[in-house]
Structure 1
Amino acid sequence: MAKYQKLVEPFKIGNVELRNRFVMLPMTIEKVDNYHVTDDLVDFYEQRAKGHAGLIEIGSCYVCDCFGTEPKYHTTTGACGCWDDEFIPGFQRIAEVCHKHGSKVAAQLQLCYEWRASGDDPLLSYAPSKDVPSGPFVGMPEREYTKEEIAEVVKQYGQAARRCKDAGIDIIEIHAGIGYMVMRFLSKYSNHRTDEYGGSAENRARFLCEIIDEIHKTCGDDMPILVRISADDLMPDGNRIADTLELIPIVEAHGVDAWSVQAGFHEAPRPVANQIVPEGEFIDLAKQVKTVTSKPVFPGTRINTLDMCEKVVTEGYGDAVGMARQFIADPDTARKVEEGRPEQVRPCIVCSRCLDNIFIGKPCQCSVNANVWEGVEVGLPQDKPATEKQHIAVVGAGPGGLEAARVAAERGHKVTVLEKSDKLAGLLTMAQVLNANIEPLVSYWNEEMKLHPNIEIKLNTKVDVDTLRALNPDQVIVSPGGGIIPIDVPGIDGKNVVKSEDIKAMCNGIVPEGKGMIWKAAVAAIKAQGGTVGFMRMGLNMKSGPTAIVGKRVVVVGGGFAGLEVAEAMCDGREIWVIDPAKKLGNGIGIIDKNPTINLLKKKGVHLMPLTELIEVTKKGAKVKNVETGEEQLIECDTVLTSLGVEQNTDLYDEIVKVWPHAKLIGDATTPDGKVYRTLEAVKGGYQASMAI
């Protein structure tokens, strides 16, 4: 059997046959206009249908009237309204474009933390029990549901489902997970009621069962119903898998056709979706659910690679596999697998930049797919061929430069990429050594550049104006990377100091200036093994040892995104301090990852020292000062590692623009003061630059 073949076999949910085992999970991607479906949202789902996703789920179809309200939970504002017939045409548009390309569509009926019976009532935070805090941003519930209000909610679900059926939606999903309203009834953590809706498993499931019964009344028994449930809610005194195994048969008796299994509440003390969560961490929950049901079951939390997808469907963890972020990263994931070219799948790097925006009510964005942000306004390169084909020189083969080259080539331009090192991917070459999630992206870029005959790559090429004059391009895009933020204190050039630019040089096969035999040996080993990531890691010797470039006791100078990533990657077997003059660490890390990252570092014993600056490096270690009190201390260490990030770098661009006035500067080189530009900003800059030519 060919690799990943099981993933492209058809399967059924109820009476609906799906072309493959890929399920695009529902997300609230904030592409609505006052709860109405927009052209951008239709385009978003159509792209995934063109990419052959078997089932596409529309996230957060809200069942109660939210017009004219200001929800405390920001994500609600990005939901698709489903409380009135006026929304039917929007859902119909999504269903039609997805069906045209062979994908089936599910609508996820949703109620988060706030509710009202009608547009004449105030939108208030509700819960099954008033004594338990609601989810993020909401605080304590303002109301506890009465039985009469529960009956009204049930009717709202039934009418919302009826509208979806009228619009041509294939499957109804009830969101009963992640701590939203239905889950709050199911969970022992949040449901302390003493009436028939609380206490026993049968009572806690009653609300969900009544919703299912109502949907069968409004839509008929032939409308498939899918339930998404947190099989372990990860909350204190909440539901564990044993509770879920008791709930599943109770609920299923009311007519459920499939189960989508996730984990956690949004406010759970244990992260569920971050990079720090191992991939596949929760797939066994789905496997256990399969022991109490004969209906299709699929896991859908923290899965992003094809290898993990294959494990799920071939080793009995699920009948299909649910992913959301991977389908944001590459709409064509399923089609590329079907066509036997999985190496061309653009990988999700699990950076959570999409969730950072969604969680605060801003449109979805993606670090590897700039079109998610731009949507129909800028369009796709294959849909906008160049009216006049030109020769474009791209200076720098980092993610911004490579994206500029890809987009320009797809639009029909001739592209020459000029790179001073001997490798593609720029800072990602170093980042993949510290962060294994980046490694597939570097592989993707190396494969992608081979696909375009109109792209020429020139490595080991230092660029100046004369170099470009010899090429005589029509347009120039400059992506040289940011400048290293300098630090000037006594001893900074000592042998016990490792700078981020030294590590970058080593990863690019260059011995940093002034470094001795250990560095030369590490670089030689890397080159001998063809520059593999494993040997780069060995050269850096992240696990420490007698020949390590970085010693056992390390002071990391810089507590932003870059510094904390370095600290986390190197902390096993070492004692590490992270210092930064800022009051709070984590500059450049989004809302989803910041606290979990800091908590993980604390758990691993890393000493975090905000309000602290380096004033001198001595043979014994790092002399530091508290910026508020002025108190000084010596941290005895073997290595001082600087990781301050990058700053604006316009020197080369300033020379080029004199000759090519329309030259564009993109990527880290454009970093404003105090901002942290990462892969997302680089890729977005490259995409925009080439789409504008």
Structure 2
Amino acid sequence: MSSYPHLLSPLRVGSLTLPHRVIMGSMHTGLEEVPGGEHELARFYVERVRGGAGLIVTGGISPNPEGAARRGGAHLSREDQLGPHRTVTDAVHGEGGLIALQLMHSGRYAMHEDAVAPSAIRAPINKVTPRELSTAEVERTVEDFANAAHLAQRAGYDGVEIMGSEGYLINEFLVAHTNERTDRYGGSDAARRRFATEIVRRVREATGPDFLIMYRLSALDLVPDAQQFAQVLELGREIEAAGASIINTGIGWHEARIPTIATSVPPAGFTWVSRALREHLSLPVAAVNRINTPEIGEAVIERGDADLVCLARPFLADPQFVAKARAQRPAEINTCIACNQACLDHTFSGRRMSCLVNPRAMREDELVLGPTRTAERIAVVGAGPAGLAFAEAAAQRGHRVTLFEEQPELGGQFQLALRIPGKEDYAHTVRYFSTRLAELGVTVRTGHTATAQDVAFADRVVVATGVTPRVPGIPGEDGPTVLGYKDVLAGAPVGERVAVVGGGGIGFDVAHFLTHDPHSDFYTEWGVDRSLEARGGLLAPAPSKPRRRVTLLQRSAGKPGARLGTTTGWIHRAELRMADVEFVTGVQYVRIDEQGVHVLSPAQRDASQTGDPDTEDRIERIIPANTVVLCAGQEPRAELARELAGENGERPVHVVGGAHVAAELDAKRAIREAVELAASLP
């Protein structure tokens, strides 16, 4: 009997039978605009179909050129564009899968000079001010959606998803603060809904009764002066009447001040919204956001929050997500940890999407882990992300791997990361690798510091010994009030007044760890109205009282946490601001003593004055603290590698991960580097 009877049950939608309740959601991969990229894109989708994906939704394709996210971005408006799309649909259908094209007009989020919108109002996350569409242009855009859907049907797609949420063009028409029109597409709730409903109606007319139409409905805008839930429900009813087959739930605009998909969001954190929709609609409703395990998906369906779940990034992390759930092997799923580092961060910076925990994502043909020609005995020293990733990949290829780890448990820096509030999902990665190493027969020796003698048996040695915290060289840093970040995360006693030395990712994590109230409520803290009465779902944030007073110190004079993730850095800064953490930048450290940290910092200036913080006058300041935490970076820990490099003979010794480059504890680079090394072996 299946462990997931609801999640894996089929669902009839119009003329299609979906094999289960899991939709692979839309992700813009970066290949949509690459000439010839359709072949790699087809292979990416095919691997997911082979792993059990039923209905796949493509990355967003605009119905006309001005709706593309960037100049020259992907759009579908002419018959001569169908060839690459047929390459994709033929490949998916050849494996028995279903695929829908997402139609997405970027509206005021478009980053080019031809951007258009309901009104000429610039988005706060964009430098481009859009041009207001005329009434005739709005009507033409409706026809462009219908034309693109018809072309998608001719290209072999089983359906389309109409992107009506996340603050893109259709969503912009629905909200008063982005739609100041007075024609038939603005001025009243009914008029603002007209654009969305006309698009669905015309798409249905253009494609006939059997074509799948999924509409992504913004159920919770999370921006000021947005829709009330009663308006959202009315739109849902009109979209259903216009001919949609499925409602897919959208949560939040890209400019919203509330996290919606990052790791700090509770698992299935917004399915209560899809439930409220489902109670008033007849067509199937899909839930989204932070549904990353089959257990969570099963619970969502079972309790009636939705008819389907829509997962995007979990299929990056593991293309076999559904197959492993069906085979009742959930511990083998490489779970998405919602870090955003290789997926959304890449997308929003114009790079090809991939995955931190699965660097083969989007490189399926380039990064191949085929059977080895010569099985070697390989010693891997260090079981952090790099060591674990290499051991798994090498063993998968057929090498005989022995893994050494000096700590009693696997995981390395991930064991520290998973203790940070909101990063608990990092434990999934440790669980995945532990399960895989056992399946692959890797010999694991924990609680043992490997020596050159221990690895003498090996034909090849991989040193993945990680990092050691950098000693910043501040007078007094060896005093009784000073702790390292590892001590703090391991539970060392910390005072009520804390100075954190270092404004990088570790400094931010430690400051959050020290101030976070474990009993706080995500929705209260960030200001989300679970009663669905407030406009846009927004309330005033009501953060819990921080557990400690923390000051975060940074040598550079720039914005605190400037090197944090593109799509998550703002969240970490907001968390610390809500905890009343004080940021002091541009400091020079003088000494640490029982009073706290003595620093030289730039003198206060009049707002009209400018100057170079590295040369301007500085004043001495004492940062009061009864505990000082050093988060001043890391150094590679590669003593064993240096010792082995002095051996006589030709035995290969490789250094990967933090032991190779310690900058910013880059797990994305460490795992990718390790898998690439394993793939390159004979």
The residue that corresponds to 1:278 in the other structure is 266
Residue 692 (str. 1) matches residue 680 (str. 2): yes
Structure number having the greater helix percentage: 1
Show CA shifts across 1:277-303 (max 9, x none): 333332122111112211000121233
Q: 2:335 aligns with which of 330, 343, 347?
A: 347
Q: TM-score, normalised by structure 2?
A: 0.88
**Equivalent pair of 1:52/1:102 in contact (CA under 8 Å):** no
Q: 1:668 aligns with which of 630, 636, 658?
A: 658
Q: Which amino acid aligns with 1:665?
A: V
The residue that corresponds to 1:364 in the other structure is 353
Quote the offset at 1:43 in angstroms.
Answer: 1.6
Q: 1:576 aligns with which of 550, 553, 575?
A: 550
1:218 and 1:2 mapped to 2: Cα distance? 40
Q: Compare 398-407 and 419-428 and name the one that shifted more.
A: 419-428
The residue that corresponds to 2:85 in the other structure is 91
Identity %: 29
Other structure's SS at 2:365 match: helix
Give unpaired runs (5+ residues) of structure 2: 517-546, 603-612
**Number of equivalent positions:** 631
Q: Which amino acid aligns with 1:689?
A: L
Other structure's SS at 1:598 match: helix
Other structure's SS at 2:279 match: helix
Show CA shifts across 1:346-367 (max 9, x none): 1111111111110121111211
Other structure's SS at 2:498 match: strand
2:138 and 2:187 mapped to 1: Cα distance? 16
Q: TM-score, normalised by structure 1?
A: 0.86
Q: Which amino acid aligns with 1:486?
A: V
Q: 2:122 aligns with which of 128, 133, 137?
A: 133
Other structure's SS at 1:671 match: coil
Q: 2:508 aligns with which of 557, 564, 567?
A: 564
Cα–Cα, structure 1 residues 123 and 553, in superposed 2: closer, same or farther, change >3 Å? closer
The residue that corresponds to 1:513 in the other structure is none
Show CA shifts across 1:158-195 (max 9, x none): 22112221222112110001111111112222111111
Cα–Cα, structure 1 residues 87 and 651, in superposed 2: closer, same or farther, change >3 Å? farther
Other structure's SS at 1:371 match: coil
Q: Which amino acid aligns with 1:53?
A: A
After superposition, where does 1:50-129 map in structure 2 within 5 Å?
A: 50-65=50-65, 73-74=69-70, 80-113=74-107, 124-129=114-119
The residue that corresponds to 1:606 in the other structure is 581
Aligned CA RMSD, in angstroms, stands at 2.3
Residue 421 (str. 1) matches residue 407 (str. 2): yes
Residue 221 (str. 1) matches residue 209 (str. 2): yes
1:373 and 1:671 mapped to 2: Cα distance? 24
Show CA shifts across 1:410-435 (max 9, x none): 11111111222222111111221223
**Equivalent pair of 1:19/1:102 in contact (CA under 8 Å):** no
After superposition, where does 1:157-556 map in structure 2 within 5 Å?
A: 157-353=145-341, 354-372=343-361, 374-379=363-368, 381=369, 384-434=370-420, 435-453=423-441, 455-469=442-456, 471=457, 473-503=458-488, 506=490, 540=491, 549-556=493-500
Show CA shifts across 1:171-229 (max 9, x none): 21100011111111122221111111112332212222222232223211211211002
The residue that corresponds to 2:565 in the other structure is 590
2:460 and 2:378 mapped to 1: Cα distance? 5
2:124 and 2:144 mapped to 1: Cα distance? 22
**Equivalent pair of 2:416/2:486 in contact (CA under 8 Å):** no
Quote the offset at 1:396 in angstroms.
Answer: 1.0
Q: Which amino acid aligns with 2:468?
A: G
Show CA shifts across 1:227-267 (max 9, x none): 00211212211113221012111222111111001111111
2:468 and 2:243 mapped to 1: Cα distance? 60
Show CA shifts across 1:132-162 (max 9, x none): 2236324321x21112212222222122112
Other structure's SS at 1:209 match: helix
1:654 and 1:86 mapped to 2: Cα distance? 59
Cα–Cα, structure 1 residues 84 and 114, in superposed 2: closer, same or farther, change >3 Å? farther
Q: Which amino acid aligns with 1:7?
A: L
**Equivalent pair of 1:398/1:481 in contact (CA under 8 Å):** yes
1:213 and 1:576 mapped to 2: Cα distance? 56
2:13 and 2:481 mapped to 1: Cα distance? 61
**Equivalent pair of 2:109/2:123 in contact (CA under 8 Å):** no
2:285 and 2:382 mapped to 1: Cα distance? 46
The residue that corresponds to 1:11 in the other structure is 11
**Equivalent pair of 1:260/1:299 in contact (CA under 8 Å):** yes
Show CA shifts across 1:345-396 (max 9, x none): 11111111111110121111211011125332223x2xx2112222222121
Quote the offset at 1:482 in angstroms.
Answer: 2.1
1:199 and 1:433 mapped to 2: Cα distance? 50
Quote the offset at 1:503 in angstroms.
Answer: 5.0
Q: Which amino acid aligns with 1:27?
A: M
Cα–Cα, structure 1 residues 4 and 350, in superposed 2: closer, same or farther, change >3 Å? same
Other structure's SS at 1:38 match: helix
**Equivalent pair of 1:177/1:229 in contact (CA under 8 Å):** yes
Q: Which amino acid aligns with 1:6?
A: H
Show CA shifts across 1:628-651 (max 9, x none): 443222222221111223233443
Q: Which amino acid aligns with 2:79?
A: D
1:37 and 1:203 mapped to 2: Cα distance? 40
The residue that corresponds to 1:44 in the other structure is 44
**Equivalent pair of 1:39/1:376 in contact (CA under 8 Å):** no
**Equivalent pair of 2:481/2:627 in contact (CA under 8 Å):** yes
Other structure's SS at 2:553 match: strand
Quote the offset at 1:37 in angstroms.
Answer: 4.1
Q: Compare 99-108 and 229-238 and name the one that shifted more.
A: 99-108
Give unpaired runs (5+ residues) of structure 1: 117-121, 507-539, 541-547
Other structure's SS at 1:272 match: coil
Show CA shifts across 1:484-543 (max 9, x none): 211222221222211124357x5xxxxxxxxxxxxxxxxxxxxxxxxxxxxxxxxx1xxx
